Structures are given as C-alpha cells and as structure tokens.
Amino acid sequence: MIIKGGSRAAPGQLAWHLQRRDTNERIEVLELQSLAPTLGQAFRDWQILSEGTRGFKGLYHANIDPAKDYTMTREQWQRAVEVLEKELGLEGQPRAVVMHEKYGREHIHVVWARTDIDEMVLRSDSQNYLAHERASLALEDEFGHEHVPGKHAKRDREKQPEFPRAEANQAEWQQGERTGIDPATRKDQITALKQACDNGQTFKTALEEQGYVLANGRRGFVIVDEFGNVHALARQIHDMKTAEVRAFMKDVDLETLPTPEEAKEFQRQRQEEIQQKPEQEKPEQQEQQEHQQEEQQEHQQEETKEQQEAPSQETQSEEAQKQPEAEPASTPAEPVSDPAQAQAEAIRKAVTERQAAERRRIVEAQTEEMNQLRDRLDRDTREKLDLFDAIHRDETEDLHADQTEARSGLTGFFDSVQNLFSPARAAEREAERQRAHEELAARQKQERDDYAALLNQSNELEVENLAERHALNLHDHAVRGEADFDRYVREQELARKLQAEIEEREREREEELARKGLERPPPTRAR
C-alpha cells in the first residue's frame, strides 16, 4: 500500500482535481465533514481558517492506493483513513474523502483542515513521510497485504543499504498523464541512447536528434522534452547516480548549455514552427506515380480518338461553327479562393499570435514564481539543517561534559590512580570514550542524512504541486484560445449570413423599385 501526501493551499484547484471526470472512470464522495454543499466551498472555508494563524497551507491532502492485487471494502477504506489520521496527528479535524476509479482500480483521496480552531494554530505536518509509511505498514499487517518497500519507516537498512529511488516521481507521472508519454518508455529510450554513446558530446548529439534539449539545471544536467517539461538527466538513466552522470558528461561544459527556461522557449518556438509550417509537397515517388498515370490516360485517349471514324470536312466545319471553342485541356483550372476559409485562417493566425504572447507572459510569471519558491525552500532547508546541526552540537558537548565530569572529583582521582598503576585499563577507558564519540557522530550523520532526505522530498512535493498548477493554467489558457477561435469563427459566419441577408433584401428592394419605376410615366421636365 502506498500513501503519499502533504500540506497545501489552492483549495479551488484541489477541488477541481478531485472532481475531474476526464481522467477518472468513476468519482464518489464518501465523506464530507462540512456544512458546505460542495467540496470547493468546504475547502475554501477550511483554507480561510488558516488566515487566523501564521501559516498559509490550510489543507492536508493524502492519497491512499493499495496494490493492484487487492480489493478494499468500504470498512477497510474507513479504517485506512482513521489509521492515517492518527499517525498524522489530525484526529478531530474536519475531513473529506473522495474515491476515484481509474483503469478499473480504486484509490481514495483524503483532505483534512489543518487549522485547530481551539488553539488557532495549524496542526504540525513535520515527519509526515514517516507517518505515511507507519500507517501503510500497520494497514498492510492488518489487512494481510504484501509489504511495499519504503524509504523511511518501512526501510530495512540491511536489505536496503542505499536509499531507494522510484522509477518515476509524482511530477514525472503527471507529465506522462498530460503528454501521453510513459515515463518508463522515455527512461528506456534515454538509457539506450546513453549506452550507444562513448562520451558526453555524442550523448548530447543523440539527445538533440531525438528532440530533447540538454540544459544546465540548478543541480546539474537536465533535459527538456518537446512539451517543455524538465527532467533531471540522472533520473532518466537506469542504474546511474548523479555523480556517475557528471563523470560521464565531463567533456560537456555546463556553463555553455542553455538554462531550462531558455530550453523551454526553444522547444516552444520549435513546436510553433512545426504547427505553422505549411503542408509539405507530396513525396517525389508519389508525384512520379501520378505523372505516369496521367500519361497513360492521355495515351489511351489518343488511341481512342484514332480508332474513331473521322467525320467529313463539311460536318467538322458545321460542328465547329455550332460549338464554341473549348479551352485547351492542358490549361489547369485556377483555384477559387474561399473567402470564408481565408478569413478563418486570418482569425486563426491572430488568435495564435495573441495566445503565444499571453503564453510567454504566463510562462515568465510562472518561472519567477517557481524561482521564488525554490529560493524560499532552499533558505528554509538551510535554516532547518542549521538548527538540526546545533542540536547535534549540543549533544556532542553534553557527552564531552559528562566524560569530563566523570574524570573530575574524588571518583576521577581514584580512577586516575588506578590508571596510573594499570596503563592497559587507561587505554581501554580512552578507547571507550573514543568509541562513544564515534558512535554518536555516526548516529548524528545518519539522522542528518535522513532528515535532509525528508526535507528534500517535502520540497520536491511543493515544487510538483506548483508545477501541476502551472501546467493546469497553461492547459486552461490553450483551451480558452481554442474556444475564442471557435467563437470568432461563429461570429464571422453569423456576420456573413446577416450581410448576405441585407444584400439580398437590398437587391429585392432595388428590383421592386425598378419595376415600379417602369410602370410610372416618365417625369415631366420643367421648361
């Protein structure tokens, strides 16, 4: 069983996401602990409560997804929500539970209000990844499900000495849903490209030939696909770590590569050129076949004419006088331009240009917002790690103080006397003290690494949520552009019909006036 989640804001976007009918086969609201009639209004009410606190993420959204081999009953779903709620420390908070069915499998989304109205503070969301795995482990044992390996509470350090990595994170999975490209397929493709290359330069060329752009990301090499999505290069190659990728790409200077934003703009311009490029000419082979068919038809027509009996000269002259001169068969008919189609193309061009300009502004604003979020997360991470290191320094100083105190006073005096007469005992005591320091340092290092990994995962989740909202905004913008184009075309068509009706009425009126003018006697001229 996999449980994911985190604190967030944006109640409207969350309600829209949970009620999407285009990506889910079935949606059912199992529970809504609110007087509000809809999810959107309930989430907005819960988010408004957070304004009375010092925080701004008033919601906690979690996803509970059992393995595909297991079917959960309603009682088990209810039990899963209760266990997770207790582990997260959200007991007594209002919640909503929504079930989704996708590809024949069920999973649930749970949203809690984080604001404790009695204390007017947000319930803590620290160590939430550990809480997710504790709940997952307890539910798997209770329901008899096979254990799904985890990274934190469910991680066996002897069997999993290295930190496990998922094949695709949430952002990559969502990108695959939007673009229709399976993250695993893309990873296999890029891995195959890397294996076929001897160095970084050839790998860079191979990526560009496949439509990717190699860029200089915040933490090293990244690639930007044709849809403008950014992927860490190390995550797109099987069984390779970031350090190994850097070693392989050592002949590629990072500073000479474009930034992810520049690569996105390049991919956007490339896609616009592809869309605006006129239809290519027919392939040469197809043109030759059509030309041969035309020659055969002409040859057959000539043979048919020769077989026919030629008419007399007089008959030919008479027919020539009766029939008008025919235009040469070889003269092609000039294409008649369709005003409606030309106008639609002009509208399409105007809407496309306007949409492109608006999209650039949106992307610039989103890039600025993403950079601000990353800077804030980096700053918060440094502050939290500094505080964590300070706690560890206090522990080290306490251990040193305890050892110093043990060697002082009357007890320390007798101990030093014994050490004086037994150097082996003194060496053993010193080795024990040294071992205590080493064990403390190893434990602190492990705790810090785990804590840093948790902070990084939490930061990645925030970045993924913002990236998802940005992608939805761009999608909505594109949909609005298509709707605007359709509306403009309908309005133009209606305007043409109205103009045609006006012209028809004017023509009928002129004909009637002309007819009435003939019936009247001509006006007399003044002498």
Residues 79 and 21 in one domain: yes
Signed CA dihedral, 385, 391, 392, 393: sign only? positive
Structural domain contains residue 490 = yes
Structural domain contains residue 322 = no
The tokens for 484 are 């605007």
Structural domain contains residue 280 = no
Residues 498 and 373 in one domain: yes
Q: Are 118 and 43 spatial neighbours (Cβ–Cβ below 8 Å)?
A: no
Alpha-carbon separation of residue 239 from 51, 191, 231, 245, 336 (angstroms)? 46, 9, 16, 10, 61
User: What are the pLDDT tens digits along the chain (527 aa)?
Assistant: 889 899 998 898 899 989 988 788 899 999 999 998 899 999 999 999 988 888 889 999 999 999 888 889 999 999 999 999 999 999 999 999 999 998 888 999 999 999 999 889 999 998 888 899 899 999 999 999 888 776 655 555 565 555 555 555 555 555 555 555 667 788 888 988 888 888 999 999 889 888 899 999 887 899 998 888 888 888 888 888 888 888 999 999 888 899 988 888 888 888 777 766 654 444 555 555 555 556 655 655 555 555 544 444 444 444 444 444 444 444 444 444 566 677 777 777 777 888 788 888 888 888 888 888 888 888 888 888 888 888 888 888 887 777 676 666 666 666 666 667 677 767 777 788 888 888 888 888 888 888 887 788 778 777 877 887 787 777 777 777 777 777 777 777 787 788 888 888 888 888 887 877 654 455 555 54
Q: Which of these three, 253, 274, 295, is where a domain ends?
A: 274
Residues 14 and 135 in one domain: yes
The helix/strand count (H/E) of the chain reads as: 14, 10
SS (H, E, C) 138-197: HHHHHHCCCCCCCCCCCCCCCCCCCCCCCCCCHHHHHHHHHHCCCHHHHHHHHHHHHHCC
Residues 19 and 112 in one domain: yes
Residues 126 and 190 in one domain: no
Number of independent structural domains in the chain: 3
Range of the domain at 107: 2-143
Q: Where are the alpha helices (DSSP H) in 308-338?
A: 313-322
Structural domain contains residue 295 = no
Q: Are 83 and 24 spatial neighbours (Cβ–Cβ below 8 Å)?
A: no
Structural domain contains residue 193 = yes
Residues 501 and 352 in one domain: yes
Structural domain contains residue 340 = no
**Residue 463: closest CA among 385, 360, 378, 386:** 378
Q: What is the dihedral of CA 14, 15, 21, 22, to 10 degrees?
A: -30
Residue 166: the pLDDT is 52
Residues 364 and 507 in one domain: yes
Residues 253 and 401 in one domain: no
Q: Tell me the pTM.
A: 0.43
Residue 310: the pLDDT is 45
Residues 367 and 508 in one domain: yes
Residues 132 and 186 in one domain: no
Residues 365 and 512 in one domain: yes
Structural domain contains residue 291 = no
Structural domain contains residue 316 = no
Residues 118 and 184 in one domain: no
Q: How far apart are the C-alpha atoms of 95 and 112, rounded to whole Å?
A: 4
Q: Which of these three, 245, 274, 303, is where a domain ends?
A: 274
Q: Would residue 224 be called left, alpha or beta, if left means φ above 0 and alpha means ψ between -120 and 50 degrees?
A: beta
Q: What angle do CA 69, 72, 75 make, to 5 degrees?
A: 165
Residue 91: the pLDDT is 94
Q: Which of these three, 95, 125, 143, is where a domain ends?
A: 143
The tokens for 224 are 């930007």
